[in-house]
Amino acid sequence: MSEQAQCWINGRLMPGSEATVSVFDHGLLYGDGVFEGIRFYQGHAFRLHAHLKRLMDSAAAICLAIPYTQEELTQAVTDIVAAFAEPEGYLRLMVTRGVGPLGLNPASCTQPTVILIADHLSMISENQRQRGAKLVIASTRRLPADGLDGRIKSLNYLNNILARMEANQAGADEAILLNRNGHVAEGSAANIFIVRDAQLFTPHPVDGALQGITRSVIMELAVSEKIPATVCALTAYDLYTADECFLTGTGAELIPVREVDSRPLRHCPGPVFSRLAEAFTNVIYQETGIR
């Protein structure tokens, strides 16, 4: 937490240093809740409507009633961004099941807790970003949809954390999770794209990929840039033999990849990544009013 961090909890704005939650909150006790990560640029949240829509979908999937409308949450975002000391940063919007007695039963919680945090987030240093990320394929597998659907942005990220621990132990920047069929799902905290023969490929959500907001922007840009793009099943072989590879996400933004499991890729950054990165920056400029 930085000194500039701000928090908004159930309608009350405060410095991050003063923010507290109950030890009996089921978000803390059991990871029972959902969240969104949102970037803001020059005081404007990027693709806020899409983030709030996904938050509502995640909450609906776990039968969690959010006690604020999208309009009220939009105002909360506006307020916390205005209170933050800098024009650019990262928001974490969380909705937990709320305070309740010990025990898993969600029916024991009567009032959800809604939390907004404004602070800085950097998944990778600028030096690492320029060099390109080093990835490893984790032995930890993505949970199947009949266990926990990957489209739900749950507060329980232990599956992802275990994969990231493998990356740390291997001296890598990020881990890639496969599903139980051996298909590529995503990174521990980012979606993944590859380029082969000037065509773009990314895993399908049915294989465990989050329907990422930045991922969707890249798919839109591929159309406008006339880059053929396909959502399909990918395996480790596809990563190893790709011309280019890159990660996308609200936290990650866009990160080129230089190697996967010690196999160097042909280009980093490659020409397709460079085109999309420039177009992505232009979209941010257009949608947040940066001049």
Residues tagged active-site: 153
CB-based contacts of 246: which residues, under 8 Å, 6+ apart?
Answer: 192, 193, 254, 255, 256, 257, 269, 273
Q: Supply φ then ψ for residue 211, to 5 degrees.
A: -80, 75
How many angstroms separate the most distant Cα atoms in the chain?
57
Per-residue 3-state assignment (H helix, E strand, C coil) for 111-169: CCEEEEEEECCCCCCHHHHHHCEEEEECCCCCCCCCCCCCCCCECCCHHHHHHHHHHHH
> Do the Cβ atoms of 234 and 183 come closer than 8 Å?
yes
Tell me the helices (H) and strands (E) count for the chain, helix number first.
8, 15
Q: What token pair was written down for 172?
A: 């890598």
Q: Supply φ then ψ for residue 49, to 5 degrees.
A: -60, -45
> Do the Cβ atoms of 190 and 247 come closer than 8 Å?
yes
SS3 state at 74 = helix
| Rounded CA separation 24/108 (Å) | 11
> Do the Cβ atoms of 97 and 59 come closer than 8 Å?
no
For residue 193, CA distances in Å to 123, 200, 253 come to 17, 7, 13
Question: Which amino acid does the sequence have at 264?
Answer: P
Q: What token pair was written down for 30?
A: 């059991």
